[in-house]
Every structure is written in structure tokens, then in C-alpha cells.
Homo-oligomer: A and B are copies of this chain.
């Protein structure tokens, strides 16, 4: 038995045959034709599916799709995806006409969260909170081995939780959201600000021009002992730590899993986060431990997680 997982990104649509163990047997992709409109992208997806598998094959259990934006996972309608310029696109219904197999559509961060929990970080967790730290901060919640998505699939917006009332302006219009402190965008903003205030920082050697600053600048220079960089990393860890502690107190999950580019920092980031959280864990004497770790599936998390949505329905 196998599924097809589809990961719709801003630049490419990736598809893969995924087996019951979360292994990708075959992969294909096409550029995302945003200018072509939603029907063009949907026909591209149909072509990928039909190229990978035969709908008449009884071992082909269904198609899971992770899509950016606001997705109604109950109806399979993409209510709004800014990157794709989509509004109210009946993705599941249109694909079902072509493929005739179960189609499940969710937000891409939700799909990745499920993939990591089912197949990535070891498969030993049933309750996890997943944060992707990228341009924004995405979130996914897996409870009892299944995605929790909220009413119309519009929950798990974990980047849009205010941790500093009246703080930094967020893309959502509120102030002080986790995303406004812990996205790569925020990290780069804070790195640049610190560099401007400290012209002798080692970070100027690592990124001689402000335009070249990225999510690694502060981390790499912090590892070399640059005080200004250490302060930027310390602030990033503080805010992310507060966010993780919040999700620990809300869900008391078995693990908080971090994905996205910043997680390439691996143990250097994780050990700092663990130290921060350990000291502040609510009722730590009687409270079960919450693991903090980085995602393992990398770029394949989207495809595997999307397929996982179908497997989870079958369980």
C-alpha cells in the first residue's frame, strides 16, 4: 500500500510515492506556474500523480497535499494562499474528478508536522508541537497521533501567538507575535540592528555588507565568541524559549520539534534552548519532560507528511 504526497511550494510542486514506512520510492516535480492560475497548477498536479501511479491500482490509497496558506482541511478548499495568488480554490474536489482516489488537503506546516511525528524524529511520539522557523513561523499540532487543525483547519497558527504585548509589529497586524522574534526574517532584522550599533563586531567580517546578512550570521559569530553576536542569539533563544515553554504548558506534549533553516544550527541552538527552558519549566518537579529537538526529514517533510495524512485516516 502506498500514497502520493504533494508539497505545493512557491517555486516548485513536488510529488512522491510514499510507502507505509514513510519512505519516498519515487519523486517528481514541476515549477509552480503561479502566473498560469490555479487551474494550470491543478492540472500540473494531476499530471504528476498520473505519471507516478495508476489510479486503477488498488494498492494506491490516496493523495495527500500540503499547501501554503489558509486551507479548509475538511472541505479541501484552499481559502487563501497569498504566494500562489489563490482564493477559494476547490483543490480536493477538482483533483478527485481526475484521480478518483481519496484526496486530503492541509496547510503545509501541518502536513510537515505530521510527517515529522509519524516518520521523522523517531516515531515514538504521539503528542507533538511543530514549529517551522523560516520567512515566517509556521506551526503544526499532532495530538494522539493525528493532526489537530481547529475549526475549518484554521488553527495551529503557532507563529501568531503574542509573547510580548505591544512589541514588534508582525505580518498579521498584531504586535509581539512569536513570528516577529523567531522567524529568520526577525533574526536577520535583529542581526543587522546589532551590527549597525557595533561596528567592531566579528559579524562584519562574516557578512561585510548588511544585504549579505542571513540567519547564520549571528549564530556562526556567536560560536566564535563575538559578544554582539552572542547577545543576538541570546535574545533569539529567550523569545523562542518563552514560546516553547508556552506550548509546553498548553499542550504538555512529549516533544516540541523545530524545523526550518535556523535549525541547521542543531545542537548549538537546542542545548541553549534546553538550558533556558529547564530553568523555567512550570512545576518541574512533578511535570513530565518535554523533548526539544530538530526535525529530521528536511526537504522531504512536506511530501512525506502530506502522504501521512492519508495513512493517518486509514489507521
Residues of A at under 8 Å CB distance from B? Answer: 70, 79-80, 127, 139, 141, 143, 148-158, 160-165, 167, 172-174, 176, 238-239, 242, 245-246, 249-254, 280, 282-283, 285-288, 290
Contact = CB atoms under 8 A, between A and B. Distances in A.
Contacts of A160: 249, 282
Given A79-B286, A283-B172, A287-B70, A250 B163 contact: no
A143 B246 CA distance: 19
Given A164-B164, A286-B79, A252 B174 contact: no
B280 A155 contact: no
Contacts of A153: 252
A145 to B, nearest CB: 13
B282 A152 contact: no
A245 B162 contact: yes
B249 A280 contact: no
Contact of A163 (B141, B157, B165): B165
Nearest to A181: B165
B239 A157 contact: no
List the number of copies, as a whole number. Answer: 2
A250 B155 contact: yes
Given A163-B165, A165-B242, A283-B172, A151 B253 contact: yes
B151 A288 contact: yes
Contacts of A245: 162, 174
Contacts of A157: 249-250, 252, 282
A172 B242 contact: no
B251 A80 contact: no
Given A154-B287, A174-B245, 19 more contacts: A70-B286, A70-B287, A80-B285, A141-B250, A150-B253, A151-B288, A152-B288, A155-B252, A155-B253, A156-B252, A157-B249, A160-B282, A161-B161, A162-B163, A163-B164, A165-B167, A173-B282, A174-B282, A250-B250
Contacts of A141: 250
A244 to B, nearest CB: 11
B158 A250 contact: yes
Contacts of A242: 162, 165, 174
A278 to B, nearest CB: 12
A155 B144 CA distance: 14
A80 B148 CA distance: 29
Contact of A148 (B143, B156, B165, B172): B143
Contacts of A127: 150-151
A254 B161 contact: no
